[in-house]
Amino acid sequence: MARDPDRIIPLRHYGRWLSGGLVVILVALVVKAFAQGQIDWPVVRSFFTAPALVKGLGHTLLITFLSMALGLVLGLLFAVMRLSKNPVTRSVATAYVWLFRGTPVYLQLLIWFNLALIFPNVSLGFFHARMVDVMTPFLAALLGLGVNEGSYMTEIVRGGILSVEQGQLDAASSLGMSRLLAMRRVVIPQAMRVIVPSFGNEFIGMLKTSAMASAIAYTEMLNQAQIIYFINDKIMELLLVAAGWYLIVVTLFSGVQYYIERQFARGQSHELPPSLLERLWSNLFAGHRAAAAEERR
């Protein structure tokens, strides 16, 4: 083939090859160290699907989803309150964020769990019970994690709402929409585009923070792993099993988040970004299709 004098030869990135090679070597060394270290790999494998651990994983997922749901509901509610014209609702929301964002979640979990110390009995008119019976580790974990999450979600949602321009609210009002209807139908759907990435971040954070609920005897995954290694002394093995499961869940969730973000990107750009599968498909068959197009010509 003749040389094309007009062709621009792309810059060669020798540094990238060099640093890439170094990284590969480092990873290989770490893997080798772990492979040869005093880790009983068959134990890791066998406990990966141990019923007790899988049950713990189920509890971790359950408390994560429920706490995030509670957090999101509280966040939406208090964010709208915080941006209200009413000074009373605004102050209530500000105080909520101040209180629950200002103290460690670990401490909040302990307070919820030990609530019986200040309120021995629960009485809601039709319902009477002892607090120790009501405030199970599950409920204490849900309230502790969810209410704390709500204070962070309030700020995330508020940021999302503020990212929507005033003109949208003007337009909604001019159609006769009340403030709440305008929020629900016009502002929040647009704010979601800004909220979802942070929400994903919070979700992954919650997945891991939920391990703190082991402090109040909630049987989530790390708690189960600890119970097992107290008995069989395979500490590292069980911690690696838990680490593996956390990474698997986070990986799966990142994929889900991609689709949710795509959903809320509607109308935001001329073309929607391709989905993961579409991208994979086009990468696999791009060369193939280009060749076919060439042939047809």
Partner 1 sequence: MSAPGRPMVVVQNVHKAFGRNEVLKGIDLEVAPGEVMCILGPSGSGKSTFLRCINHLERTDRGRIYVDGELNGCRERNGRLYELPDRDLCRARTKIGIVFQHFNLFPHLTVLENLIEGPVRVKGEPRDLAVARGHRLLAQVGLGERAAAYPRQLSGGQQQRVAIARALAMEPKLMLFDEPTSALDPELVGDVLAVMRDLARSGMTMMVVTHEIGFARGVAHSVVFIDGGVVVERGAPEEVLDHPRHERTRAFLSKVLS
Residues that bind partner 1 (CB under 8 A): 167-168, 170-179, 181, 185-186, 189-190, 264, 266-270
Longest dimension (CA), the chain: 92
Q: Using CA atoms in the order 221, 225, 230, 235, what is the torsion angle rounded to 10 degrees? A: -140
Q: Provide the minimum distance between the beta carbon of 235 and partner 1 in the complex, in angstroms, as a whole number.
A: 51
Residue 147 C-beta: closest distance to partner 1, Å:
30
Give 36 or 269: the residue with its C-beta nearer to partner 1: 269
Tokens of 221: 């995954």
Alpha carbon distance 20, 290 (integer Å): 30
Residue 184 C-beta: closest distance to partner 1, Å:
9
Closer Cβ to partner 1, 15 or 176, answer by number: 176
Instruction: State the minimum distance, in angstroms, from the CB of residue 177 to partner 1.
Output: 6
Cα distance between residue 99 and residue 148, in whole Å: 9
Identify which of residues 159 and 189 has a Cβ nearer to partner 1 in the complex: 189
284 vs 11, 70, 105, 154, 297, CA distance in Å?
A: 26, 41, 46, 43, 22
Nearer to partner 1, 52 or 83 (CB): 83
Question: In Å, how far are 46, 105, 126, 161 from 84, measured between CA atoms?
Answer: 55, 27, 34, 12
**Minimal distance, residue 164 CB to partner 1, in Å:** 10
| Between 175 and 247, CB nearer to partner 1 | 175
Least Å from the CB of residue 269 to partner 1? 7
Beta bridge partners of 122: 129
* CB nearer to partner 1: pick between 81 and 216: 81
* Phi, psi dihedrals of residue 4, rounded to the nearest 5°: -90, 110
CA distances from residue 95 to 70, 85, 88 in whole angstroms, order as listed: 18, 16, 11
